[in-house]
């Protein structure tokens, strides 16, 4: 079965070949819930005080994909001078949640209900790039994957990954994104 999976002739349940899924074709299988998703994400991100506190900037917002960049700051490091794991986790949580929000209806808010972080390498770089992308879009629950990269003068290094489970919250006036 593996052989023909990579020949591109196996159709998955969403109409994409496995090769297309592996090469990013999964985005064509996701439903965009709201035409103004980008403005909604930008406005919500601007209200997120913790992102302001750490100096993070929203740099990419597309259906199912969000990126945030963070310059190196010594006050965000741990005792060895590496970007603190708490900062890495915070930024990954945000990009995973916002990638899911791009796919949610206008009357829904997003809340993280679980995440798993793998710290792969020390956070050492001139700045950091965090990318979240929707893996599974559901009516009430979504899954997003995140990657954190340390960017230096000569190298870009994957330093952490996250898998996040997110809730599509509706009918809660106190929660609006």
Pair 20, 73 in one domain: no
Q: For residue range 79-102, what is the model confidence (pLDDT) as tens digits?
A: 999 999 999 999 999 999 999 999
Residue 96 lies in a domain: yes
Pair 17, 101 in one domain: no
Q: What is the pLDDT of residue 33?
A: 64
Q: Give the tokens for residue 48.
A: 């997120």
Pair 2, 38 in one domain: no
Q: What is the pTM of this model?
A: 0.82
Question: Given the structure tokens 């969000």, which residue do they identify?
Answer: 66
Q: For residue range 96-132, what is the model confidence (pLDDT) as tens digits?
A: 999 999 999 988 999 999 999 999 999 999 999 999 9
Pair 64, 136 in one domain: yes
Q: Containing domain of residue 5, as a range?
A: 1-30
Residue 26 lies in a domain: yes
Residue 110 lies in a domain: yes
Q: How many domains does the chain have?
A: 2
Q: Give the tokens for residue 146.
A: 């995140």
Pair 94, 75 in one domain: yes
Residue 175 lies in a domain: no
Radius of gyration of the chain measured on its C-alpha atoms = 17
Q: For residue range 37-75, what is the model confidence (pLDDT) as tens digits?
A: 999 999 999 999 999 999 999 999 999 999 999 999 999
Pair 62, 133 in one domain: yes
Question: N- to C-terminal Cα distance for the chain?
Answer: 43
In three-state secondary structure terms, 147 is strand
């Amino acid at each position: 079965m593996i052989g023909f999976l990579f020949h591109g002739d196996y159709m998955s349940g969403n109409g994409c070949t496995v090769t297309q899924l592996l090469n990013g074709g999964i985005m064509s299988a996701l439903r965009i819930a709201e035409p103004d998703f980008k403005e909604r994400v930008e406005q919500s991100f601007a209200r997120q005080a913790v992102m302001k506190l750490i100096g993070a900037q929203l740099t990419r917002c597309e259906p199912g994909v969000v990126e945030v960049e963070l310059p190196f700051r010594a006050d965000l490091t741990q005792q060895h001078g590496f970007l603190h794991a708490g900062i890495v986790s915070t930024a990954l949580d945000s990009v995973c949640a916002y990638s899911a929000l791009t796919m949610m209806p206008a009357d829904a808010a997003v809340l993280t209900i679980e995440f798993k972080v793998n710290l792969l390498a020390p956070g050492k770089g001139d700045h950091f790039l965090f990318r979240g992308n929707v893996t599974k879009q559901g009516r009430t629950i979504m899954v997003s994957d995140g990657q954190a990269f340390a960017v230096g003068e000569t190298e870009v290094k994957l330093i952490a990954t996250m898998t996040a489970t997110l809730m599509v919250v509706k009918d809660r006036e106190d929660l609006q994104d």
